[in-house]
């Protein structure tokens, strides 16, 4: 049905309590009955320049656009201004932002790049639509409720093989239809995977980013790369189908970044391991069915796949991000598992653990970067729409300086991660372990550190709104609270910087002299 049309003169007549209309972006809203329920109060709606008037600027200085899109408020619209059309439109599913620096360069019209081709473009369009339509609403819901990712979303992302793709290219993708067949299986590379990580991060919910089966992204590769054929045949199909969930259990209260300090032990009893000990900060642990567990065994370390059972208990750990991540404290009370559940060689678990770290750290860095870019976009929009001292925020040189720093950090991180991703595409798994471990350590250290600098700057730009969980600054609040996770999970910043340096120092030629 065509919308009723009004002139500004007609709207102006409705300017008092009980008969109150306002205009926002050419749309006419009847707020007569809503005014008393308005979270910002009645008085502000009756003010001069608001009641019966075009309140577009004042509205966008105080609310996110999504407020108007919520059904209960969208229904307050009774018509539009004759001869005018709405200008402020949200991105449609699949669309890219036209705000400068809101997207990686290759997505901007007229820009060129050496890494991405048509297959990545097609893939990106479908992925963005999927994340906006299916994942984003679940992310918002779960981030707030703290509940685990909905099974419905798990089913859909497994149907699209998104979960399988997040493990990177490889044999596990053979015979699978990727993203409804938008690309051919053999086209899939680490740049497609980078796209998935960046799109996930755009949801702006850090807890959910981990709740989005991150435990599986790091817990399943040891099974794929080091499990026996029987174990793989049993576990991989059900996990990639989203029927069973898996997580990685390495860190302990006794050993975090210092993996060699771990104390969970596995003792042989015939054909069984008997596992005793605890694990801490285990992402997805509260809802996982399988645990890829690093244990101390006679003569070294061994990684063992442990199914959830009566002697394995998980308890949710209260963290400062959402419990949708499923962060758990895990207790093994003489858990018996067959020795055939060993992943890799007995006593050679450190190799399994270390080889897994590169991909995990790269994934965390990618997600961290995705959120940072989102924060840059939020700050650019906010500084453009927020009026202070009679001018937009970006009229202040200090604000422009902060924005310049934020953009430079995000762009340098993007360029570095793309260069590393290109190496990953062209190196074998073994070569990556040898050549990229140090670089990825440094990359992650850099990206997570700049993340916290960006969080600080964004907080200053958003002021009080950056410390409230809802409203204009909700993404900034989430990012400021959760950016330290990026700098801790998968190896803390200082340890990774040191790893990068130790690897570099080891490779300085003995003949090198000034
Ligand atoms: C259709 C029109 C409007 C709707 C549906 C609406 C809805 C809301 C909602 C849901 C909130 C809670 C905060 C949030 O979720 O962002 C809010 C807060 C607020 N609103 Fe409105 N509003 C409308 C128009 C206006 C207008 C024209 C003004 C003009 C001054 C205004 C001033 C405020 C203020 C001052 C707050 C508190 C903001 C804060 O805590 O930071 N609102 N409004």
pLDDT in tens, 57-72: 999 989 999 999 999 9
pLDDT at 40 over 80: yes
So what's the pLDDT on residue 479?
Answer: 98
Separation of 386 CA from ligand 1 center, angstroms?
A: 14
Which residue from 40, 48, 53, 462 has its CB within 8 A of the most atoms of ligand 1, so it is best to mutate? Answer: 40
Fold annotation for 5-81:
Flavocytochrome B2; Chain A, domain 1 (3.10.120)
- Is residue 257's pLDDT more than 80? no
Q: Tell me: domain 105-212, CATH 1.10.10, correct?
A: no
Both tokens of 140, joined, read 């918002």
Please report the atom of ligand 1 found closest to the CA of residue 44. 30
In this prediction, residue 114 has a pLDDT band, given cuts at 50, 70 and 90, of very high
Mean pLDDT, residues 388-411: 96
Whose Cα sits closest to atom 26 in ligand 1? 59
Ligand 1 site, CB within 6 A: 22, 29, 31, 38-40, 44-45, 50, 55, 58-59, 62-64, 67, 73, 76, 470-471
User: What residue's CA is closest to ligand 1, atom 20?
Assistant: 40
- Cα of 63 vs centre of ligand 1, distance in Å, is 6
Question: Which residue do the tokens 């801790």 mark?
Answer: 488
Domain residue limits, the chain: 5-81, 105-212, 244-347, 354-506
Mark out the alpha helices in 170-310 (DSSP H runs): 190-201, 206-211, 214-219, 221-226, 229-240
CA distance 64 to 21: 20
- pLDDT (tens digit per residue) in 152-188: 999 999 999 999 999 999 999 999 999 999 999 999 9
Distance from Cα 400 to the centre of ligand 1, integer Å: 27
pLDDT tens digits for 412-441? 999 999 999 999 999 998 899 889 999 999
As a whole number, mean pLDDT of residues 118-131 equals: 97
- Kindly report the protein residue whose alpha carbon is nearest to atom 30 of ligand 1: 44
Which numbered atom of ligand 1 lies nearest the CA of 50?
27
C-alpha distances (whole Å) from 37 to each of 18, 32, 92, 490 are 12, 10, 30, 46
| Residue range 438-487, pLDDT digits in tens | 999 999 999 999 999 999 999 999 999 999 999 999 999 999 999 999 99
- Ligand 1 centroid to 59 CA: how many Å? 7
CA distances from 289 to 155, 225, 303 (A): 16, 19, 17
CA of 380 to the centre of ligand 1 (A): 21
pLDDT at 289: 98
3-class SS letters over 314-377:
EEECCCCCCHHHCCEEEEEEEEEEEHHHEECCCCEHHHHHHHHHHHHHHHHHHHHHHHHHHHHH
Atom of ligand 1 nearest to the CA of 64: 16
Distance from Cα 61 to the centre of ligand 1, integer Å: 9
Question: For a substitution probing ligand 1, which of 23, 46, 51, 63 has the most ligand atoms within 8 Å of its CB?
Answer: 63
* Alpha carbons 360 and 440: distance in angstroms, whole number: 10
Ligand 1 mean position to 39 CA, how many Å?
Answer: 6
Name the CATH topology of 354-506. Answer: Butyryl-CoA Dehydrogenase, subunit A; domain 3 (1.20.140)
Residues written for the chain:
514
Q: Which residue, among 93, 125, 96, has the nearest Cα to 111 in the 3D structure?
A: 96
Helix and strand numbers (H, E) in the chain are: 19, 15
Q: Shortest CA distance to 231 belongs to which of 242, 212, 246, 215?
A: 246
Question: What pLDDT score does 455 carry?
Answer: 98
**How much distance in Å is there from the Cα of 40 to the middle of ligand 1?**
5
pLDDT over 70 for what percent of the chain?
Answer: 100
> What's the confidence (pLDDT) of residue 256?
74
> Which of 36, 46, 67, 76 most suits a substitution to test ligand 1, by most atoms within 8 Å of the C-beta?
67
> What ipTM does this complex have?
0.97
Distance of alpha carbon 377 from alpha carbon 102, whole angstroms? 5
Cα dihedral 292, 294, 296, 300 sign: positive
Which of 38, 35, 94, 87 is closest to 67 using CA atoms?
38
Q: Whose CA is nearest to atom 12 of ligand 1?
A: 39
Domain 244-347: which CATH class?
Answer: mainly beta
Distance from residue 37's CA to the centre of ligand 1 (Å): 10
Q: Which atom of ligand 1 is nearest to the CA of 465?
A: 41
Mean pLDDT within 290-318: 97
Q: Whose CA is nearest to atom 13 of ligand 1?
A: 471
Got the DSSP string for 258-294? Answer: -GGG---EEEEETTEEEEEEEEEEETTTTT-SEEEEE
Residue-level pLDDT at 434: 87
Quote the mean pLDDT of the chain: 96
**Ligand 1: residue whose CA is nearest its atom 32:** 40
Q: Which residue owns the Cα nearest ligand 1 atom 21?
A: 40
At 1, the pLDDT band (50, 70, 90 cuts) reads low
- Ligand 1 atom closest to Cα of 464? 41
Residue from 21, 33, 38 to probe ligand 1 pocket by mutation (most atoms less than 8 Å from CB): 38
Nearest ligand 1 atom, CA 47: 30
pLDDT tier at 3, thresholds 50, 70, 90? confident
* Cα-only R_g, the chain: 26
pLDDT of the residue at 318: 96
Indicate which residue's Cα is closest to atom 34 of ligand 1: 40
């Amino acid at each position: 049905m065509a919308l009723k049309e009004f002139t500004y003169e007609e709207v102006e007549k409705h300017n008092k309590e009980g008969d109150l209309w306002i205009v926002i972006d050419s749309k006419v809203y009847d707020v007569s009955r809503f005014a008393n329920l308005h979270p910002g109060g009645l008085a502000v709606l009756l003010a001069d320049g608001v009641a019966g008037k075009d309140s577009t600027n004042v509205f966008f200085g105080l609310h996110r656009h999504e407020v108007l899109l919520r059904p209960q408020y969208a229904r307050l619209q009774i018509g539009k201004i004759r001869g005018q059309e709405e200008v402020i439109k949200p991105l449609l599913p699949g669309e890219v932002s036209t705000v400068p620096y809101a997207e990686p360069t290759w997505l901007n019209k007229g820009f060129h790049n050496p890494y991405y081709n048509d297959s990545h473009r097609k893939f990106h369009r479908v992925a963005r639509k999927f994340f906006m339509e299916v994942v984003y609403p679940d992310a918002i819901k779960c981030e707030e409720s703290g509940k685990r990712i909905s099974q419905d979303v798990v089913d859909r992302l497994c149907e699209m093989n998104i979960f399988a793709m997040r493990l990177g290219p490889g044999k596990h993708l053979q015979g699978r239809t990727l993203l409804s067949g938008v690309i051919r299986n053999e086209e899939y590379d680490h740049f497609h995977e980078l796209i998935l990580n960046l799109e996930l991060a755009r949801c702006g919910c850090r807890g959910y980013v981990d709740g989005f089966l991150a435990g599986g992204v790091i817990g399943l590769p040891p099974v794929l790369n080091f499990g026996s054929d029987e174990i793989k045949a049993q576990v991989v199909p059900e996990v990639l189908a989203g029927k069973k969930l898996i997580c990685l259990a390495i860190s302990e209260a006794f050993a975090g970044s210092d993996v060699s300090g771990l104390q969970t032990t596995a003792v042989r009893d015939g054909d069984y391991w008997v596992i005793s000990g605890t694990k801490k900060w285990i992402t997805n642990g509260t809802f996982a069915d399988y645990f890829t567990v690093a244990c101390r065994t006679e003569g070294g370390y061994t990684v063992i796949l442990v199914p959830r059972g009566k002697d394995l208990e998980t308890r949710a750990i209260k963290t400062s991000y959402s419990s949708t991540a499923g962060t758990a404290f895990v207790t093994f009370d003489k858990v018996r598992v067959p020795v055939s559940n060993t992943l890799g060689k007995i006593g050679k678990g450190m190799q399994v653990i270390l080889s897994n770290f590169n991909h995990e750290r790269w994934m965390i860095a990618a997600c961290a970067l995705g959120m940072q870019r989102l924060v840059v976009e939020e700050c650019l929009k906010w500084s453009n729409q927020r009026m202070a001292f009679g001018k937009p925020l970006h009229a202040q040189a200090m604000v422009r300086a902060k924005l310049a720093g934020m953009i430079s950090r995000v762009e340098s991180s993007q360029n570095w991660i793309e260069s590393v991703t290109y190496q990953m595409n062209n190196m074998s798994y073994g070569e990556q372990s040898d050549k990229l471990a140090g670089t990825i350590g440094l990359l992650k250290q850099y990206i997570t550190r700049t993340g916290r600098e960006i969080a600080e700057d964004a907080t200053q730009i958003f002021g009080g709104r950056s410390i409230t969980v809802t409203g204009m600054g909700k993404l900034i609040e989430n990012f400021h609270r959760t950016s330290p996770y990026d700098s801790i999970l998968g190896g803390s910043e200082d340890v990774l910087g040191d790893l990068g340096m130790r690897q570099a120092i080891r490779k300085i030629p003995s003949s090198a002299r000034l």
